[in-house]
Amino acid sequence: MIVFTMPGLDMVVKLIRDHFDTPKKTTPAKVKAQYDFVFKHYRVGRLIEAHAFEHLSFERCWFADDLLDHLLHEAGQTVHLDKEQVVIDHAYLERRVIPLDIFLEEARGAAAEAAVVDFGNAIKDLAMANVFPGDMLLKNFGVTRRGRVVFYDYDEIMPLSECHFRKIPQPRNEMEEMADEPWYTVAENDVFPEELSRFLGLAPHHRDLFLAHHNDLLSVDFWRTVQKEIQSGIIRHIRPYASGDQLPPGE
Q: What is the pLDDT of residues 173-206, one digit of tens each?
A: 777 677 777 777 788 889 999 988 777 889 999 9
> Higher confidence at residue 75 or residue 155?
75
Strand partners, 235: none
**Virtual torsion, Cα 197, 203, 206, 212, nearest 10 deg:** 30
Q: What is the mean pLDDT of residues 67-92?
A: 94
Distance CA 29, CA 101 (A): 29
So where are the chain's domains? 2-95, 98-231
In this prediction, residue 248 has a pLDDT band, given cuts at 50, 70 and 90, of: very low
Cα–Cα distance list, 41 to 13, 75, 93 (Å): 21, 27, 17
Q: How high is the pLDDT of residue 197?
A: 79
Q: Residue 235 pLDDT more than 80?
A: no
d(CA 243, CA 245): 6
Question: Is the peptide bond between 171 and the residue preceding it cis, with omega within 30 degrees of 0?
Answer: no
What single-letter amino acid sits at 115?
A
Beta partners for residue 12, in sequence order = 94
pLDDT at 141: 95
pLDDT-derived band at 91, boundaries 50, 70, 90: very high
Q: Class of the 98-231 domain?
A: mainly alpha
pLDDT at 78: 95
